[in-house]
Structure formats: C-alpha cells, structure tokens
C-alpha cells in the first residue's frame, strides 16, 4: 500500500512523525513524503524533513495523510495542494489527518458530511465545512480517519493499522515502539486539565486562533457554494 504523507512549511512535525514511525515499520506499506519540491521542509520549530517525491511524482495513495500545524492556514487556500488532495482522494482507500490537518481536508471538500476530529482549540471550526466535530482522540467514519491534536497521531496510526492489517500486527508495532503512555502529569486534555491552565492556553493562543478561525470561515464559504 502506498502511504502518501503531505509535508509543508510550518507543520507540526510530531503530527507526521508519530504516524510515520508506525507506518514505516510495516513492510507492506511504502511511505512517501510529498511536497512541491525536494527541498528540505522546515517545521514550525525549525526541524527540517526531506520530501521523497514531489506532487507530480507522487504515486496514487492508498492512504492519504495530512498533518496539522500553523502552516495549515496557507494550505487551506493553496489551490495546487487542494487539487492534489482531491485527485488523490478519488483513488485512495483511506483519507486521513491528524490535528488541524482535518481543516485542510475540509477545505478541499473531503470531509463534508463526515464526522471528524481535530486539535481541541480548533475542533469547532470543522462545523463551518458541514463536518460534524467529534471530541475524540481518533474518529473513524467510513474511509475517513482523523486524529485529534499532535500526540494522538500514534493512536490514529495504530487504529488505522489495526483496521487494515488486523489488531495483532498493530499490537506488535505498539509493543516494538514501547507505546505505553504514562504522562508525568494529569491534564493533557481540556477535560482533565485545571481550568486555569485551559484558560491560559486559550489566552496565549487567542490571536492565532482568531486568524485560523477567519481563514476557516472564509474558505468554508467557497467550499459550501
């Protein structure tokens, strides 16, 4: 199976590298890192990743994947990328994302009428695109599989692997990775965190979230025409 994973500037690398670790350990999966050029792609914190193929060179995806991150805003209005995703989705067995990658899929019109998730700060923006926001770590709706924020990418990938290859293989990969989360602190989601911390996160991200919301509203009007 061809796993086509989209790279782009200012993405959140863990959205991609978590699932990459899972998918690349399966010998039946051919993983392709795709961008417009083969130049290094810089994530939001400065980590650079090398694409393996360009958009034009990309094989047809069996699994189409989009990560999230601040660069998602530009991607939602990038017609070259949106066209690529639509074309790939036509032949893909699974159309997937982690974090705000779901907003990119939504901007391409690929989640309309589906249930999906995203990072908790941006989850409700999916509703602008006729998508039902679901506050779960992984959401499976038909062949649309979406993960919530950042670290949920590993859960997403193991869930999808179990669906495709069976739970035993997924459990083997999970064990090989020693994926047995035991966070040092309670509060990794707004449901379990102290309300003061949730409010602080909302305050410190307010300006950017307003920008993200404005782009989502703008693009959604075009998608829903």
50: left (phi over 0), alpha (psi -120 to 50) or beta: beta
102 near 116, Cβ under 8 Å? yes
31: left (phi over 0), alpha (psi -120 to 50) or beta: beta
Q: Provide the total of helices (H) and of strands (E) in the chain, helices listed first.
A: 8, 11
Is 99 in the active site? yes
> Which CA distances in Å does 1 have to 30, 64, 91?
6, 11, 12
User: Active site residue: 99, 111, 121, 161, which one?
Assistant: 99
- Widest CA span in the chain: 48
138: left (phi over 0), alpha (psi -120 to 50) or beta: beta
Catalytically annotated residues: 99
């Amino acid at each position: 199976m061809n796993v086509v994973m989209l790279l782009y500037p200012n993405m959140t690398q863990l959205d991609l590298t978590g699932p990459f670790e899972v998918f690349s350990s399966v010998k039946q999966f051919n993983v392709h890192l795709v961008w417009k050029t083969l130049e290094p792609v810089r994530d939001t914190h400065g980590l650079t990743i090398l694409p393996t193929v360009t958009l034009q060179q990309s094989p047809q995806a069996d699994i189409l994947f989009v990560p999230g991150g601040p660069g998602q805003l530009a991607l939602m209005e990038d017609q070259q990328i949106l066209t690529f995703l639509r074309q790939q989705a036509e032949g893909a067995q699974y159309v997937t994302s982690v974090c705000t990658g779901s907003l990119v899929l939504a901007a391409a019109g690929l989640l309309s009428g589906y249930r999906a998730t995203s990072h908790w700060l941006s989850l409700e923006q999916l509703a602008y695109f006729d998508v039902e926001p679901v506050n779960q770590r992984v959401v499976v709706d038909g062949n649309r599989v979406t993960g919530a924020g950042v670290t949920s990418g590993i859960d997403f990938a193991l869930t999808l692997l179990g669906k495709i290859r069976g739970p035993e293989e997924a459990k083997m990969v999970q064990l090989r990775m020693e994926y047995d989360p035991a966070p040092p602190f309670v509060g990794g989601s707004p449901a379990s965190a102290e309300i003061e911390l949730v409010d602080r996160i909302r305050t410190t991200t307010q300006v950017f979230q307003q920008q993200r919301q404005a782009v989502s509203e703008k693009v959604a009007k075009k998608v829903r025409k």
